[in-house]
Amino acid sequence: MPARRRAAQVGEVSTVVLCGSLLPLGLVLDWGPTNDKCQAQALLAKARQAAVPDTLYADAGYDAEWVHVQCREEWGVESVIKPAKHRADGRRNGLWRSGMTKPYLKRMQYGKRWAVESFFSGLKRTMGSTLTSRTPKQLLAEAAFKVLAYTLRR
């Protein structure tokens, strides 16, 4: 009888990446798949300990009024987050979410957000996209070490 192997993986590797240097400011690992907003509070708290950037660019997975409030009012960082479409008529609620229009995103150079995509692309090409550890605790540690090793290698 063949042995059955169970594949385990870290579902979410979330990080805040400094655009100019592509250095991670904060890292949160979680079992997934989950919504990006589930890690946002812990991720922003970790990034706040490392630096205070001028602007935080995030994709639509982080689109929530409370994320804008945490960035702008608690951290003092301008948040530029592409809005997710939640209503059929396209309207967005909230003071900060309603201001995330296409002209605003363009004026704020929202395209810089792709720096984090470059970081993850390089991470996967250099360190691989699979984990070899067997226990849940070791899998999370291995994922964190891969991010650290890639950052140091760069």
User: Whose CA is closest to 17, among 141, 118, 110?
Assistant: 118
- The model's pTM is 0.81
Burial class (CB in 10 A: 0-12, 13-18, 19+), 140: middle
User: Side chain identity at 104, as an amino acid letter?
Assistant: Y
Q: Which two tokens stand for residue 89?
A: 């008529």
Per-residue pLDDT tens digits for 90-149: 677 888 999 999 999 999 999 988 888 899 999 999 999 888 988 888 999 999 999 999
Cα separation of 82 and 18, whole Å?
18
Residues present in the chain in total: 154
Task: Please state the domain extents for the chain.
Answer: 12-146
Whole-angstrom Cα distance, residue 111 to residue 115? Answer: 8
Q: How confident is the model at residue 11 (pLDDT cuts 50, 70, 90)?
A: low
Mean predicted confidence (pLDDT) in 58-63: 91
